């Protein structure tokens, strides 16, 4: 699954990729650099620490992203 969220300070959206079948957890930040994680929990921890709703054009999309990643809903 790939989730895209538009940052206020970047023309290129941020993205979060979760491929549990292949053990890939990564994201692209507003500055287009990336982060790779060992598991979903590390990914969630990084997002909660480094990002906040004010960074994004649609602040509710940040909350929706976390809900989806944590598995509280099946589809977005």
Residue 71 predicted with pLDDT over 90: no
How many domains is the chain built from? 1
Each residue's pLDDT tens digit, 54-64: 999 999 999 99
57 lies in some domain: yes
Range of the domain at 64: 2-70
Alpha carbons 19 and 31: distance in angstroms, whole number: 23
In whole angstroms, how far apart are CA 49 and each of 21, 44, 53, 73, 74?
26, 9, 11, 22, 24
26 lies in some domain: yes
Model pTM? 0.87
Alpha carbons 1 and 18: distance in angstroms, whole number: 5
Residue 67 predicted with pLDDT over 50: yes
Each residue's pLDDT tens digit, 10-59: 999 999 999 999 999 999 999 999 999 999 999 999 999 999 999 999 99
| Residue 65 in tokens | 């992203």
């Amino acid at each position: 699954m790939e989730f895209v969220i538009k940052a206020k300070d970047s023309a290129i959206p941020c993205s979060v990729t979760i491929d549990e079948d292949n053990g890939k957890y990564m994201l692209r930040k507003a500055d287009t650099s990336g982060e790779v994680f060992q598991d979903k929990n590390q990914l969630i921890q990084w997002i909660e620490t480094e990002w906040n709703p004010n960074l994004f054009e649609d602040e509710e999309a940040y909350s929706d992203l976390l809900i989806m990643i944590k598995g509280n809903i099946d589809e977005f």
